[in-house]
Structure 1
Amino acid sequence: MIANPNGADRRAVVVGAGIAGLTAAIALRQRGWQVEVLERAAAVEAAGSGLSLWPNGLRGLDVIGVGAEVREQSLAATEGGMRDTAGRWLSRTDIAELRDRYGDLVVIHRTRLSEILHDALGTVPRFGCPVDAVEFTAHGVRVRHSAGTTEADLVLGADGINSTIRTALWPRARPPIYAGYTAWRTIVVPAGPVDSGGETLGRGQRVGIAPLRDGRVYLFATANLPAGQHSPGDELGEVRRRFGSWHDPIPALLDAADPEAILRHDIYELPPLRTYIRERAVLLGDAAHAMTPNLGQGANLAVEDAVTLAALLDRIPDIPTALAEYDRVRRARVRPLARLSRRMGTALQLALPAATPVRNAVLRLTPDSAALRALGPVLSWEPPA
């Protein structure tokens, strides 16, 4: 954890109390900034899903002093990889080797991570406080919100894929686009232990299993469907019809699922922005670069954004110059990963009868060690000094 007075007398408004916003607020406060966090939701919303924190994201959390607490949520090495619908392995990930090569991997309940970050922040965000307008002044920025007006040196838009800040200040930015598939997510309390995780690939649909430290299981599934084609009131029934005959333990996990706890979201991604900054405003996380979830890097890149921004603001006294450097390094980092995630989604969601056996054969023939090496550019990121 870094404590530094270089941000003394500087003020920031962080819009959004998700992973990007909380991490940035913590990092700036540790450097002496006065930070106000505005969140449009009325309260912390319970999340019914898990997320993966890879070595790069955990290094970022180390910077703000919560990495060790997050690592306590880690499981001992479990099986990982990809299978076909009968349960035959297409590829395997050696979790122990991954940890030896790159660092720890943690699958954590999203709500637990939020609790850890809120505790580290030490103050309560201003909930139920949507932003109405952002105006640039001679020396900073004025944020008008439902509780009044805040004058600051900098505003951080960390308010997700449908960012209010991006809409207001990047009016020519293209809106999010549908990736072509929908996703169901839930947390399941299984009847017995589940020691094996990974993804199972079918034709145009797949299932993912991620055991959590407390014995629960994060379960997700995807299917190629038109946007908005939901099954109100019977999402679990839809998932069971699609995946209930797949290999164990998928049927048992679906039997144990709570119908009221099934989340359903169509998958969208944000077209690349020409810049993440405008005068004294900066975008972080999904507000800047929401991508498909196939790399499992959304939360990790949000953490990277936050600690990189704080480090550069600490290192470079002139705020516009620091923001320009943030824009340069983060777009160079994120854009290739967004393209890679999109390509992965295309391959994993293949639906043509002739194409899926070819994909599966390629996965079987690819050495597991080669797949592990390919993760290097993603997982080897280090925080700025």
Structure 2
Amino acid sequence: MRILVIGAGIGGLAAAHALRTDGHDVTVFERAPALRTSGSALTLWSNGTGVLADLGISTEGLGAPIDMLEQRDANGRALMRIDVSLAATRYGHPHIAMPRRNLIRRLADALPDGTIVFDKTCSEVSQNAHATSSTHGHGHDAHSAHSAHSAQVTFTDGTTAHGDLVIGADGARSVVRRHVWTTDPTTPTGWATWQGLSRFDVDTDLGRDLDVVSSRRGLMIVGPEGMCGLLPAGDGLLQWWFDVRRTPDEPMPTEPIAALRARFGHWAAPVPEVLAAVTDADVEFFTHYRHKVPRTWSRGSVTLLGDAAHTMPPTVAQGGNQALEDAWTLARALRRTPGIPEALTDYESSRTQRASLTARRAGSETTNKYLPTLSRLTPDALVSRYHTRWLRLISTYLSDRPAHRAPVRA
């Protein structure tokens, strides 16, 4: 089967690898001139690392393992501790915080040269009269009875590409999604993130004060001004972010770090120390968007995955994980279900409910809200067990795998 993937992000690259392994002829088209390695860091939970293991992608050296999440208030008082190692032990796959670029490069390196075509911006997707015809089998010669391709992608340079299946993995501003749903369903949540990925030498006084850099735990610090998150990302790197209430029409500060220091500088350590050590050159900014996830992600021989199918804020750290889930599930559906329409129905029935549950939780922005009384009254053991169960509820991969109770160390 000839498959065109639009977008060389996490989901698109993972889908390309899985589908090529099954014998399909896959090309990934990326609008950027090279791999997009921005995006600070991300966390893969057991569902994401489990999918990578199933795809044969090693997580060795990608980042730092995470066993514990601690929530504090702005004064440094402990509110909650979530033992996420319970889920890693139960499911047999670790939790790892890593620079996004590490994962992108690892996935890209698993593909043969020429699989990714750069400088190709999709402008339009169209389908011919055979768009809903069935396609059987899984190899390069596995086409329907007619020889006509069922979908066409047009690029801004005037060139076109044809395939039996087009996968829109082109992110939160997806062009392919407009073909499937006709409109952009996303709306801002009223929150935004300033984030960075900075190196802290653990042998310096500052590095020793920021012991989280060399730990296996993450900090989530909440207050009336917003939320600060800190996670080790491996190799002396610290992922840091500040979530603040913000509307898209607010003017951007000319000096974002100075603005963050004015807003959060009075918080307890280690927040002021982090802000004192980073610069505007380290900062990335993005507005949070959300939408109701439809039950249908496909139209004819065109389907969606990742942010194109379920744009969500980063507040539950599932964006990359859900994209990996989509890639794994789509490949499985094409493997076990004859015919593109039937396979896409299988894919949607396996993913839409779980992605919708994840997107609703993320879109509520609950983890950003200052609720100290509720946090203190929730027993740590209860929230740790809930986190373990939550991962299975939102994961097609973990739901289809028996629990693994042996200790896991990344």
The TM-score normalised by the length of structure 2 is 0.84
Quick check: 1:93 aligned with 2:93? no
- Change over 3 Å in CA distance of 1:262–1:151 after alignment to 2: same
Distance across 1 between alignment mates of 2:177 and 2:376:
43
Distance across 1 between alignment mates of 2:31 and 2:39:
19
Give the SS at the match of 2:240: strand
The structure 1 segments of at least 4 consecutive aligned residues displaced by more than 4 Å after TM superposition are 76-79
> In structure 2, which of residues 157, 167, 170 is the aligned counterpart of residue 159 of structure 1?
170
Give the SS at the match of 1:289: coil
Distance across 1 between alignment mates of 2:301 and 2:83:
45
> In structure 2, which of residues 14, 18, 21 is the aligned counterpart of residue 23 of structure 1?
14
**CA offsets per residue over residues 278-317 of structure 1, 9 Å max, x none?**
0000000000001121211000000000010001101112
Q: How far apart are 1:118 and its partner, in Å?
A: 0.7
Quick check: 1:75 aligned with 2:85? no
Distance across 1 between alignment mates of 2:380 and 2:308:
34
Counterpart mapping for 1:108-123 below 5 A:
108-123=98-113
Name the structure 2 match of 1:168.
Answer: 179
Q: How far apart are 1:133 and its partner, in Å?
A: 2.1
> In structure 2, which of residues 199, 205, 209 is the aligned counterpart of residue 189 of structure 1?
199
Q: How far apart are 1:94 and its partner, in Å?
A: 2.2
Amino acid at match of 2:153: V
- Which moved further from structure 2: 219-228 or 41-50? 41-50
- Change over 3 Å in CA distance of 1:54–1:370 after alignment to 2: same
Distance across 2 between alignment mates of 1:43 and 1:147:
20
Q: How far apart are 1:79 and its partner, in Å?
A: 4.5
In 1, are the aligned partners of 2:306 and 2:326 still within 8 Å (CA)? yes
Quick check: 1:304 aligned with 2:293? no
Distance across 1 between alignment mates of 2:67 and 2:236:
13
Structure 2 unaligned regions, length at least 5: 131-148, 201-205, 402-410
- Which moved further from structure 2: 235-244 or 146-155? 146-155
Task: Give the superposed CA RMSD.
Answer: 1.9
Amino acid at match of 2:113: T
Name the structure 2 match of 1:7.
Answer: none
Distance across 2 between alignment mates of 1:48 and 1:308:
25
In 1, are the aligned partners of 2:191 and 2:245 still within 8 Å (CA)? yes
**CA offsets per residue over residues 184-240 of structure 1, 9 Å max, x none?**
010122241432522100115110000121011000001112223243431111111
Number of residue pairs the alignment of both structures matches: 364
Q: How far apart are 1:338 and its partner, in Å?
A: 1.5
Distance across 1 between alignment mates of 2:362 and 2:189:
11
- Change over 3 Å in CA distance of 1:268–1:369 after alignment to 2: same
Give the SS at the match of 1:275: coil
Distance across 2 between alignment mates of 1:299 and 1:348:
18
**CA offsets per residue over residues 312-362 of structure 1, 9 Å max, x none?**
10111211100011111111211112122223x1x3444xxxxx4xx2111
Give the SS at the match of 1:219: strand
Structure 1 unaligned regions, length at least 5: 1-9, 351-355
Quick check: 1:333 aligned with 2:354? yes
Distance across 1 between alignment mates of 2:16 and 2:38:
21
Quick check: 1:130 aligned with 2:121? yes
Percentage identity across paired residues of the two chains: 33
> In structure 1, which of residues 268, 273, 279 is the aligned counterpart of residue 294 of structure 2?
273
In 2, are the aligned partners of 1:46 and 1:111 still within 8 Å (CA)? yes
Quick check: 1:290 aligned with 2:311? yes
**CA offsets per residue over residues 91-146 of structure 1, 9 Å max, x none?**
01224434323431000000111110110122341111111222212252122223
Name the structure 1 match of 2:152.
Answer: 142
Q: How far apart are 1:377 and its partner, in Å?
A: 4.0
Q: How far apart are 1:247 and its partner, in Å?
A: 1.7
Give the SS at the match of 1:212: strand
Give the SS at the match of 1:121: coil
Distance across 2 between alignment mates of 1:221 and 1:140:
45
- Change over 3 Å in CA distance of 1:39–1:76 after alignment to 2: closer
- Change over 3 Å in CA distance of 1:76–1:325 after alignment to 2: closer
In 2, are the aligned partners of 1:14 and 1:156 still within 8 Å (CA)? yes
Give the SS at the match of 2:160: strand
Amino acid at match of 1:378: W
Name the structure 1 match of 2:4.
Answer: 13
In 2, are the aligned partners of 1:11 and 1:35 still within 8 Å (CA)? yes
Q: How far apart are 1:269 and its partner, in Å?
A: 1.3
In 1, are the aligned partners of 2:13 and 2:108 still within 8 Å (CA)? yes
In 2, are the aligned partners of 1:71 and 1:106 still within 8 Å (CA)? no
In 1, are the aligned partners of 2:40 and 2:99 still within 8 Å (CA)? yes
In 1, are the aligned partners of 2:84 and 2:384 still within 8 Å (CA)? no
